[in-house]
Amino acid sequence: MNWLGVILMEWALDANKQHVHASSPNAFRGIFYICPRCKKETFLRRGKKRVPHFAHVSGQTSMNCELYTPPAIYATQIEEKLLEDTTSDRSLDLYIDVVKSSWGLNIKIPSAIGQYSGSSFLKFPFAWEGERTIPLSSIRTNGKLIRIRLQTLDYRILVSGKIQNEWRRKVEQPIRGLDEIIPTVFHYSRFGGRRLTENTPLQWGEVYVLVWNSYTIRVLQDMPIILAFRKLHDQKNWSGVVVKLPASNDRSVEQWIEKYLNRSIIYPLPEIKLVAPIPERLIDQEIAAISSTANVVIAIIGPEGAKKWSTISVESLGEKRKICHFGNGESPLLLSIGKLPHGKIDIWLDDDRDRALRLICQDTTNDIPNIKGVVFQGINLAGIEETYSLHCSEAIQFFRKVQGYRFKLTNVYIPNGVELTIKVIGNPLDEKNFKSTSTENSSDIVSVLNELLRQDQHVHIDAGGFGKVDILPIRLVSENKFSMSLRWREQLRWLLLKLKKHSQQEVMVQSDIIKKTDMERSRLLDKEDQELLHRLWKYRFLPKSLLPYVRASINEYLRAVSVKKL
């Protein structure tokens, strides 16, 4: 009981049904909790001039609950400002959901916990099923997605009730509708992709969703053959497509984007991945909860050609302070940033805050091991044991020694929840995935890798953010030869099969692109790829319908060998 004579709720239940005290470092604003008496929703109130306590979400309980306190008793301007700080600083915008060939648009409303009192509502005149009204009490910790109609007019949400001013202004701000002239571009994500702003450039290697008015523009017209895309189902006069851009610069793609999307295209910044510690749980799908007592190790991983970064920003949202680490743009890179303060933490590269690594640091009673990532152990000819992490630069040399019978792999450690993929390049059926850290799986991995490497196979090992390595056969390394991608090889096999079985009634054209191709450089390829390419090179006439596929395969071969020295 406090000085007002009112019982304040000091304890509440978290999502795991564990008791949390309001003054504990494990209690966070903006996180959903349960009243231990009435089992209704509560949220944390913590201010500079008030005792920390939990409060019921307005409209979610009755005054009969012995822990219920009317809002007027504990509401202060300081606490209201702290609650406003827990809401997202992003403006509302459109999100797209794609499931196979179906798609739809949503508006995400941020959490309304602590943002209103009494009976308050939002009205959506443009909802998918017609006009829709929802109470703010239904917009909980993770916010709420509202399915909407497709339109070019602005979306305007109607607000009624006693609502905090900042939250009201955010929700009432008009949301721009779809563009009628230029395709609207969305990020592609299984959690729902947000619309790109008008001036945001696209990035090589990324996946996007394009939505356009099929009555006014023809987006698929002149689409370069190198672009991988999946057409979505049309919705009245609106069309959509999922497009994956190539990983490296292609002038035809650049021109197509400039013409139809009125945007530029750049190499992306690398991504930040959490290496250690292993998250205890995920909050809101994209936020990881970790121990505040552990040293945090991050990995900076980027595709070939990724932009050079200069600054890593680490911002503590709870304490409102920001730390910067400066670098020279190196990627891949492992970096220890030490222990982080309690509360919400965002970590991002340069100005790429949209792709920030989001963490919540909290005290824990669990022992968090010092994770080194995926670790391999082996014994050399002298019987001395050595250990290498997959993400270290020396890992490739370790596997080279196994190939040359100078080392024997004896053990492997995989952090809990991490998936390890072992793939034999050239044999798409021979691929294995391991997720467990059990002794049985460890021995399986050791046996498989010892066998594959000593057979001089082309082996690819991938543990996601914990590192990956490509181990070429010794014969190819010594001859300075390399393999084309698995996708290229499968496409060429399909193409040769089509050429063999083509209809005699098809229109045939002379294959100038094959005739003019420099086959001298094909000797840089391994034997299998050389044979496939020479089988294609023998064709002097091609069906007209297959000409774009032949051109794409030849161009990919020319790009690959252009960076190799004869």
String of DSSP letters for 11-41 = EEE-TTS-EEETTSTT--TT--EE-TTT--E
pLDDT over 50 (residue 524): yes
pLDDT tens profile 439-469: 446 777 888 888 888 787 788 888 876 778 8
- Confidence tier at 2 by pLDDT (50, 70, 90): very low
Q: 3-class DSSP state for residue 159? A: strand
- What's the topology of domain 271-362? Immunoglobulin-like (2.60.40)
Torsion of CA 481, 432, 449, 445, to 10 degrees: 160
pLDDT tens profile 409-420: 888 888 766 778
Across-strand partners of 291?
362
Structure-block tokens of residue 309: 């970064």
- Confidence tier at 63 by pLDDT (50, 70, 90): low
**Percent above pLDDT 90 for the chain:** 13
User: What pTM value is reported for the model?
Assistant: 0.47
Nearest C-alpha neighbor of 528 from the set 562, 493, 555: 493
Q: What is the structure's pLDDT at 443?
A: 78
pLDDT tens profile 264-308: 988 777 888 888 887 766 655 567 788 878 888 888 887 666 778
pLDDT tens profile 473-507: 776 665 556 677 766 777 788 888 878 776 666 77
- Confidence tier at 323 by pLDDT (50, 70, 90): confident
Q: What is the pLDDT of the chain when averaged over all its residues?
A: 77
Average pLDDT on 379-405 reads 77
Which residues have C-beta within 8 Å of that of residue 448, sequence separation ≥ 6? 422, 432
The residue that leads in pLDDT, 495 or 243, is 243
Where do we find the tokens 């002239």? 181
- Confidence tier at 332 by pLDDT (50, 70, 90): confident
Domain boundaries, the chain: 11-85, 94-172, 184-266, 271-362, 375-478, 486-562
Return the percent helix, strand and coil in the chain, to nearest 5: 20, 30, 45
- Confidence tier at 368 by pLDDT (50, 70, 90): very low
Q: What is the structure's pLDDT at 476?
A: 62
Nearest C-alpha neighbor of 536 from the set 498, 487, 494, 492: 492
Q: What is the structure's pLDDT at 566?
A: 40
Q: What is the structure's pLDDT at 146?
A: 92
Q: Where are the alpha helices (DSSP H) in 464-524?
A: 474-478, 486-500, 512-515
